[in-house]
Structure 1
């Protein structure tokens, strides 16, 4: 583990937390260190954790009052951050729906198609202290809030969830932060072009391990993420920092009442962060080796065009294993002057009843365009392809095929505004239930 200085340098730091407590689990030690060095630290909490079904036994309300729970979790964050030296003004609550961020990233992007939370019983934030007032539950609104806080704080170091975190809200938060930052870079905000992005894990297989109070033990990269292109950096904490982090975790009483052993597992001898590179089709081979493309999948491929391939960790859930759902092995891309070609390879057999959803967030190099752009969703189900809910036919500019352990798709670049860059993610689902996701990856197209 190298480059600890990347995690400890900086004059303006911004921590993105999907839920109240992720900020302390990920960076409770470093927040202390930044405060002591007079570094400006802001914390952006995307949801208020208001989708918590299990009620801690000490809460006074008998019927589920998820908004009241959200306010209580806000107060826990403020108490913990104050204990570490931050003020109330240093913490911003966005107020978006717990358990809803992934839906807003993939399916509910526009303001004319809002997400409805079954917990808060609304499609707008119900809180009176949200960062953007009564913000609508849609992906473009989250992305806009991310843009605003980036412009307001102008950080040189950003902490965000790792793209392979298994929690849907963490996975989506990574995408929103990546999108908001890249959109501003695309618009010419040069001050943000040298930002250090440090990603953290909270939800992953056997992480942290073992569970419980182990102040002398260090966090290390989970086995199932070994071999990916993340550079992991461990930052050592002294005993004073570890103990203060442990006590700060105790401020989140709604959570420690339910999963104390898990939460205190993050008070360790170090904090672990990953540096995830962006990818480029201009490289002859970016990562992961050449995929096993079938000979009949040419799809407008030109011999001189480079091939980009990156791996996906094998992490099938118990349900997915029992039901023999497919699991992604790698994702590959190439392009020519007219088409973007995408290939997905699976560890096991792909069955037609499983849905493949490919989400693309394009960035268009156009001085006349600014702000939040379009989102493109390609769904493949029962041998049919849908682009943003409309079925498209083979031969109408698109081409696609599914093999026993692969899926191939060719997309006309003009259909996605011929982007200079895009963020790509893939979700596998069965009867509307997602069971696997690829990382959100920023890819330079040309």
Structure 2
């Protein structure tokens, strides 16, 4: 599957994701392949390990960022990667979803008290924590590498940074629109997964099972030989700050294979994949969407979704719709947010925003049929400007605080 002519890019939301998911792929350098890793964040917000380095969070986050940088270098050395094939962007750990869903704002990282990249080893210290800078840097590095194969996090991963980075990577792939590039997604965070938890190097990884509606697609397995297993274990242990905190979880990825997923395109009218209610409750995430779909309604697209419970007072449901047109600059395309707000009464108000600015033609643009449980919200097709696909995500807020959200879906708009 991988040969000496390949240029491989692994996109890692945090240092350690690259070895947990793709150590065998990283080790392809021994076949002569060129392998690169882009680390989106520095992993400085990991609360399990942060306070071990200093009693004050702002200092401990700096120390942890540097430690995880050095750990990534050590792991790469074990797998034969050169330092100049590792790109550290330095964007905020635990902030990527906020950046993605607020494309018109500069994100302030409370743990580091920063609005821009601060690490000396990062790609560019002058870059702001905002959507345009994140996306332009990721796209620029992608173009330099010009990969033949890309490995990136799943949009169904339970970690919000992973889901956000998945959307950004898919947007770059669509933007560049090279049909010869093969793309593979990977899981790291899924409840009760890998199963069984612990060091079982002879067992195979299988797909996580925590969905009401499971994503459809193809599974790709990379088999690990005995030497690969030892090397992967050593690379995982090189991420000492993480290994010492959660060793059982980390070694659970040392298996007989590495697992990747190629999703079948979601079509209009398909039932959208969702995490199960039981799994969400077990990890203290409030489940609220029971089913969802997006359909062609003639001159409109209609998003249908059903809630487990009604919409409580002083609540807000946001539908994020980011069109994607092959070969077009994603950063210049609309970033829609449909806001459904309920105040003290039973009345619901629907508004449309693009890049944070209200679209004043709301009445002619958005319509909806809603009750306590069932929603059908329509938006005119003209607002998608003949786009090929759209990203869609639904979130729920109460008293201004985001309580829960769905996965991001990538929906094919072509008939």
Q: TM-score, normalised by structure 1?
A: 0.83
Instruction: Give the match for residue 407 of structure 2.
Output: 438
Stretch of structure 1 that moved more, 384-393 or 37-46: 384-393
Instruction: Give the match for residue 212 of structure 1.
Output: 198
Instruction: Give the match for residue 258 of structure 1.
Output: 245
Shift of 1:329: 2.3
Distance 1:141 1:434 in 2: 27
Distance 1:320 1:256 in 2: 22
Would the alpha carbon gap of residues 235 and 322 (structure 1) be closer, same or farther in structure 2, given more than 3 Å must change? closer
Instruction: Give the match for residue 139 of structure 1.
Output: 131
Distance 1:48 1:439 in 2: 23
Is 1:270 aligned to residue 230 of structure 2? no
Shift of 1:280: 4.4
Stretch of structure 1 that moved more, 398-407 or 146-155: 398-407
Would the alpha carbon gap of residues 427 and 221 (structure 1) be closer, same or farther in structure 2, given more than 3 Å must change? same
Aligned to 1:386, which of 334, 339, 351?
351
Instruction: Give the match for residue 76 of structure 1.
Output: 71
Task: Give 3-state SS (helix, strand or coil) of 1:223's partner.
Answer: coil
What number of residue pairs does the alignment pair up?
Answer: 401
Distance 2:351 2:92 in 1: 27
Distance 1:22 1:240 in 2: 20
Distance 1:141 1:256 in 2: 32
Distance 2:271 2:65 in 1: 41
Once the two structures are superposed, residues 345-400 of structure 1 have per-residue CA deviations (whole angstroms, 9 ceiling, x without a partner) of 34x23324443221122235798x78643311112121122322538687433211
Instruction: Give the match for residue 80 of structure 2.
Output: 85
Would the alpha carbon gap of residues 372 and 251 (structure 1) be closer, same or farther in structure 2, given more than 3 Å must change? farther
**Cα contact 1:376–1:387 (8 A) shared by 2:** yes
Aligned to 1:164, which of 156, 160, 176?
156
Aligned to 1:376, which of 336, 344, 357?
336
Would the alpha carbon gap of residues 85 and 227 (structure 1) be closer, same or farther in structure 2, given more than 3 Å must change? same
Aligned to 1:235, which of 222, 226, 234?
222
Q: TM-score, normalised by structure 2?
A: 0.88
Task: Give 3-state SS (helix, strand or coil) of 2:141's partner.
Answer: helix
**Cα contact 1:428–1:437 (8 A) shared by 2:** no
Would the alpha carbon gap of residues 220 and 322 (structure 1) be closer, same or farther in structure 2, given more than 3 Å must change? closer
